[in-house]
Amino acid sequence: MTDITESTRQRFGEMSALFADPYPLYRRLRDKEPVKFSPELNAWVVSRYNDIKAVCGDPETYSSQGLTRPFDDPHPEVAEVLATGYPMVPIAISTDGEAHMRFRHPYVQAMAQTRTDGFGSVVDGIVDRHLDRIVPSGKCDVIADLARPVTVEVILRFMGISADHIEDASRWSKDLVSFLFAPAELDERLRQARNLVAFQHFIAAEIEERRARPTSDVISVMVHEQLPDAAPLTMNELVSALCGLVMAGHKTTIDTVGNGLAVLLSEPGRWARLCADPSTIPTVVEEILRYDAPLQGLWRTTTRDTTLGGVSIPAGGRLFILFGSGNRDEKAFDSPDEVRIDRTPNRHLSFGHGAHFCIGAPLARAEVQKLLAGLAERLPNLSLSPEFTGERHTPVLGFHGYTRLPVAW
């Protein structure tokens, strides 16, 4: 299990449970203080399913603005490094209304190609090639050896970026997540900032290439297929949006694969049932997403005085909405702490709700389903390795997945 450091305990207090096993905390919050002010987060923490849906469904009151601001105000030395790159500006996830649609429109146009049989075949080929590589070894770390290379290659293919950049994209994305959502000492923050700037310049070069020679990939769509009658996306907006897309396009999918296999293999009967009837995989994936969500929470900011769950919140108040808690709410799901791989319906919140519902949900679902199907077909004797410790990656606020997932067959 993940050990929470003393510095994390001191900084986050009760909320430090978010970095390890948050579910006992969630139950206490739902039972006793479903809308609770946390001085450590300087935010109201929202834990019940219906309250979370209400927040997500009312962007006029609960704005996404400021969601992607850095975890800490940058140190002057960090700001000096960042000044050599592109300003981090609001993007789809951190805007509302028409500003949000300026980003969402080209995203939706680009995502249409992921629903075609041709793109599905591309994903199948990527999954098969990586399985061909690992199967002869008899063991692997699912995170490093399978989930990460598959999901990064898929998003890079979608964006028209060479697979030669898998390692770069993975490293840059990890540092972007940490820069936005995790505390760090100055030396580490400087290293993250340098990698973030390198990421930005790489993406900027890809954008300029598509301006000159457009193709059908997502970068070309973002550049050329923008919202009619709206201001075109600026270079700063394109760089921020596409860096975010590379990261978001694989980070939570990796964690869904890891969380899901940990759940399925921790009780051998679950894996055996899936292998015996692969037609259940889509339903299994939805239960994985509900039971141990890869994204446990996100921020919102109130635009006016409001009341939520009987609690008054002033204009400008920050909220941290706990999707992972809503997914375990006994008022929304029968026996929510049980894994039911045949659970239907399954109206979980793991892709959000409302105007900001995850655009990439179909692609993420397809990737996880294809990975599980490939493993079930080739490795029905798959099992967790004795080396598995259950260690979570920490301390990244909101994200929830394993550092390693060693398995054998």
Q: What is the pLDDT of residues 20-63, one digit of tens each?
A: 899 999 999 999 999 999 999 999 999 999 999 999 999 999 99
Neighbours of 15 (CB within 10 A): 22
Give percent above pLDDT 70 in the chain.
98
Q: How far is CA 93 from CA 41, 268, 306, 352, in A?
A: 20, 38, 22, 11
Query: Between these two residues, 110 and 223, which has the higher pLDDT value?
Result: 223
Task: Kindly give the pairing relationship between strand 311-313 and strand 35-38.
Answer: unpaired
Q: What angle do CA 192, 155, 400 make, to 5 degrees?
A: 55
The confidence band for 166, taking pLDDT boundaries of 50, 70 and 90, is very high
Instruction: Please tell me the distance from the alpha carbon of residue 41 to that of residue 37, in angstroms, as a whole number.
Output: 8
Instruction: Please tell me the distance from the alpha carbon of residue 82 to that of residue 207, in angstroms, as a whole number.
Output: 20
pLDDT at residue 59, as a whole number: 97
The confidence band for 9, taking pLDDT boundaries of 50, 70 and 90, is confident
pLDDT in tens, 245-270: 999 999 999 999 999 999 999 997 99
Model confidence at 226: pLDDT above 90: no
pTM exceeds 0.85 for this model: yes
Model confidence at 318: pLDDT above 60: yes
Instruction: Please tell me the distance from the alpha carbon of residue 147 to that of residue 201, in angstroms, as a whole number.
Output: 26
Query: Running DSSP on this structure, what letter comes out for residue 17?
Result: G
- The answer to which of 79-93, 101-115, 125-139, 306-320 has the lowest mean pLDDT is 101-115
Neighbours of 130 (CB within 10 A): 20
Instruction: Please tell me the distance from the alpha carbon of residue 91 to that of residue 101, in angstroms, as a whole number.
Output: 10
Pick from 112, 101, 55, 6: which is nearest to 299 by CA?
55
> What mean pLDDT comes out for the span 125-150?
97
Instruction: Please tell me the distance from the alpha carbon of residue 254 to that of residue 396, in angstroms, as a whole number.
Output: 15
What interhelical angle do 235-248 and 97-111 show, nearest 10? 60
- Are residues 155 and 245 in contact, defined by beta-carbon separation less than 8 angstroms? yes
